[in-house]
Structure 1
């Protein structure tokens, strides 16, 4: 058997272009575009954010019943001071109490207070305050 030869030249093999390089280029261009637009956007953004803060809040404007505890463990209910031994009697009829403490109070002071069985059936809403410093004073 003899192999027949074609009179036509052999057809060139189709070369498929490699699209990986084009995809990489597009992705890199998109990354550079987003980096550039983000840098421009951040320049116009505010550099300092000041959160609002209540400076002077009269105790009369707070919800009741308000249990206030000082840093030295002195207690008062709606402005009426009482010894810690009377805590159960003062809170006996309440379903909810608002607890007002200084924000610098140690966490263990709060956790040990709330571990008292008096608070077992009472909903406690925590309100924090911060003592006003002279450097915090508004002009």
Structure 2
């Protein structure tokens, strides 16, 4: 007697390409409806603006970074190296409030902050809010 064999069924691997296309199209549709991946208010950065600033009302010790990268500590011009060495020796202030003009180079501000921090000082950035009339108030 001869044995008849049934045809074998080949096992197919499932195809996920249709599911991937659906996911991509849903994401595209989502971003079209939403308009943007992030809220525009989160991307809006407004720099501080200083006009007619009453320096006396600001916290002390106040370190101002001038336009020529000079330093003024509580109204007195101070050399950068002298200030750094005084902080390292413990003779200088251990906490400084840093006031910088709006249009000052960010690299200079970050470099000064890093240098003061490495010397052991705590640095706080002082900003001024401007009112509706454009005048600043601390």
The TM-score range, normalised by the shorter chain, is 0.5 to 0.7
Query: 1:26/1:106 Cα in 2 relative to 1: closer, same or farther (>3 Å)?
Result: closer
Normalising by structure 2, report the TM-score: 0.52
TM-score (norm: length of structure 1): 0.52
Of 65, 71, 77, 1:69 maps to 65
Q: How many residues align?
A: 121
More deviation, 47-56/27-36: 47-56
Q: What's the Cα RMSD here?
A: 4.6
Separation in structure 1 between the aligned mates of residue 56 and residue 70 of structure 2, nearest angstrom? 19
Q: Larger Cα Rg: Structure 1 or Structure 2?
A: 1
Stretches of structure 2 that go unaligned for 5 or more consecutive residues are none
Q: Is the 8 A contact 2:97 2:124 kept in 1?
A: yes
Residue ranges of structure 1 left out of the alignment (5+ in a row): none
Separation in 1 of the partners of 2:110 and 2:19? 57
- 1:46-125 correspondence to structure 2 within 5 Å: 49-56=43-50, 58-72=54-68, 75-78=71-74, 80-82=75-77, 84=79, 88=83, 92-102=91-101, 103-105=103-105, 107=107, 111=111, 121-125=119-123
Match status 1:29 vs 2:22: yes
SS at match of 1:20: coil
Query: CA separation in 1, counterparts of 2:97 and 2:107?
Result: 17
Partner residue in 1 for 2:31: 38
SS at match of 2:26: helix
- Name the SS for the 1:31 alignment partner: helix
Q: Which of 7, 19, 23 in structure 2 is aligned with 1:13?
A: 7
Does the Cα contact within 8 Å between 2:69 and 2:108 map onto a contact in 1? Answer: no
